[in-house]
Structure formats: structure tokens, C-alpha cells
């Protein structure tokens, strides 16, 4: 897909970038000319396949394993990405899990993976963006941030918190040429979204289909390309929020 955006000379990191929405965003950024680091925590072969696809098309990419909810691993990730691709200009905080509300451990893991990871990564890369007077941070929220959702209250809380994180950083970084926005997908045709499709959620979506990962990638490129949009959450949900 041609987005008509030139990101040549920019480097990006997509957490959870090896599959689903993350994969689509990784490929979209690479298609715009950015060098892209593909973060993953498991399923290495999928991450390497994305990297190979980008390289075979003449782009630059690297795969980096790290649990981005752990500070020490984020520090190691940051060092490797800078060594492989140079300073990070674009950070997409996409890593996430969807666990049902089971117990305290599930709650803590959900908040750590979906929210704490974005804070850790932003703290790692924002200073460099500020110093260079240019940066883009995109946080992957969800329709569940502002609605009841179908997964659990921990998931709702993590995504609502992510939107608060977005607005807080946006206000503080705008004067340094850094924008911070969020994308809030509705039900999307991914491995994580499969249970929603099986439960018949499509019947509730005004546009009559699940979202495609490319829909979310297109919205991500939109906010990366815009230098006057910050602190916003872009809904990509086929009109589901209208109901």
C-alpha cells in the first residue's frame, strides 16, 4: 500500500512488531522508507520473516527480542536498536496482551505489558527525540479504553491508562518537536481478535466487517506524517463506537 509519505532517513521501533497489527505497521513504515526494528518476545521465526521481507525489498530492518515490560530488557533493546539502525525517531508502542480477569497475577501482567511497557519505552527514547527536535510516538490503545469492552476490566484499565499516558507526554513534549498520539482499533482480524469474530461481533459493526490490520497501519502513518497533531486518539472501528 502506497501511503505517499517519505520517511527515508528515519528509524523506527515497533514493539510487538512481528505479527498482527504490529506487523502491518512495521511493513507500512518500511514501505515509507524508514529503517525498522521489529521487537518480539516469542515466535522468533515470525519476526525474522518480517525482517527478511523488508530487506528483500531493499529496506533496512532488524529483529530484537525483549520483554518490554522489564526495564533492564528495554535498556538492552534500546542499545541494540541504536547500534543496528541508529537513533530512534519513531516509536510505536504496540506490545499488548488480552487476558481475561482471572486473578491478581493476570491483572498485574496486563497492566505491565499494555501500559508499563509504553512508559518504559517512551522514557528510553524520548530524550533522544527531544535532543534532535523531532520524534513521533504512537501508542496502540483500543475501543475498550472508552467502552465496556469484551475482554476484562484489566484490559480496559490498561488501555484507558495508555490514553492518559499519551496526553501527558504530548503536553510535555510538544515544545520539543515530538508528537504523541494513540490509535484505538475496534475488533480487528488478528489472532487476538479471532474470539470476537467467533462471538459474532461483526453483526454489531456498522461497516459490516472486522477491521484489517492495514486499516490500523494507515492511521498510524497518518499521525506519523502530521507534525501538528498531538495528544489525540484516532478511532479505527468501523463505526462501532457510534452504537
Q: Give pLDDT tens digits along the chain (243 positions).
A: 678 899 999 999 999 999 999 999 999 999 999 999 999 999 999 999 999 999 999 999 999 999 999 999 999 999 999 999 999 999 999 999 998 887 999 999 999 999 999 999 999 999 999 999 999 999 999 999 998 877 889 999 999 999 999 999 999 999 999 999 999 999 888 877 788 777 788 888 999 998 899 999 999 999 999 999 999 999 999 998 765
**What pLDDT sits at residue 155?**
94
DSSP state of 185: E
As to burial, measured by CB atoms within 10 angstroms (0-12 exposed, 13-18 middle, 19+ buried), residue 83 is exposed
The catalytic residue positions are 155
What strand order describes the sheet that includes 135-140?
61-65, 35-40, 11-14, 90-93, 135-140, 178-185, 233-236
Domains of the chain, each with CATH number or no CATH: 11-238 (3.40.50.720)
Q: Which residues of 198-231 are buried (b: 16+ CB within 10 A; e: fewer)?
A: eeebeeebeeeebbbbebbbbbbbbbbeeeeebb
**What pLDDT sits at residue 121?**
98
* pTM score: 0.95
**What pLDDT sits at residue 243?**
54
What is d(CA 121, CA 139) in angstroms, rounded to the nearest whole number?
11
What is d(CA 234, CA 243) in angstroms, rounded to the nearest whole number?
17
- Helices and strands per DSSP (H, E), number in the chain: 8, 7
Which spans in 149-207 are helix H?
Answer: 153-173, 194-198
Under 8 Å between Cβ of 115 and 7 = no
Amino acid at each position: 500500500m502506497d501511503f505517499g509519505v517519505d520517511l527515508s532517513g528515519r528509524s523506527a521501533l515497533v514493539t510487538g512488531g512481528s505479527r498482527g497489527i504490529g506487523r502491518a505497521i512495521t511493513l507500512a513504515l518500511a514501505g515509507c522508507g524508514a529503517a525498522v526494528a521489529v521487537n518480539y518476545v516469542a515466535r522468533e521465526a515470525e519476526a525474522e520473516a518480517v525482517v527478511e521481507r523488508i530487506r528483500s525489498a531493499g529496506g533496512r530492518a532488524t529483529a530484537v527480542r525483549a520483554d518490554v515490560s522489564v526495564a533492564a530488557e528495554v535498556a538492552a533493546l534500546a542499545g541494540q536498536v541504536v547500534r543496528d539502525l541508529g537513533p530512534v525517531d519513531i516509536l510505536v508502542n504496540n506490545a499488548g496482551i488480552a487476558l481475561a480477569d482471572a486473578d491478581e497475577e493476570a491483572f498485574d501482567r496486563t497492566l505491565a505489558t499494555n501500559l508499563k511497557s509504553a512508559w518504559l519505552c517512551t522514557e528510553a527514547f524520548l530524550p533522544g527525540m527531544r535532543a534532535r527536535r523531532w520524534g513521533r510516538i504512537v501508542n496502540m490503545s483500543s475501543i475498550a479504553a472508552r467502552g465496556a469492552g469484551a475482554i476484562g476490566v484489566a484490559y480496559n484499565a490498561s488501555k484507558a491508562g495508555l490514553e492518559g499516558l499519551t496526553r501527558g507526554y504530548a503536553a510535555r513534549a510538544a515544545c520539543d518537536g515530538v508528537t504523541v498520539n494513540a490509535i484505538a482499533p475496534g475488533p480487528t482480524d488478528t489472532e487476538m481478535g479471532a474470539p470476537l469474530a467467533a462471538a459474532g461481533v461483526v453483526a454489531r459493526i456498522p461497516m459490516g466487517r472486522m477491521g484489517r490490520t492495514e486499516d490500523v497501519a494507515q492511521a498510524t502513518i497518518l499521525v506519523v506524517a502530521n507534525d501538528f497533531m498531538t495528544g489525540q486518539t484516532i478511532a479505527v472501528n468501523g463505526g462501532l463506537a457510534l452504537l
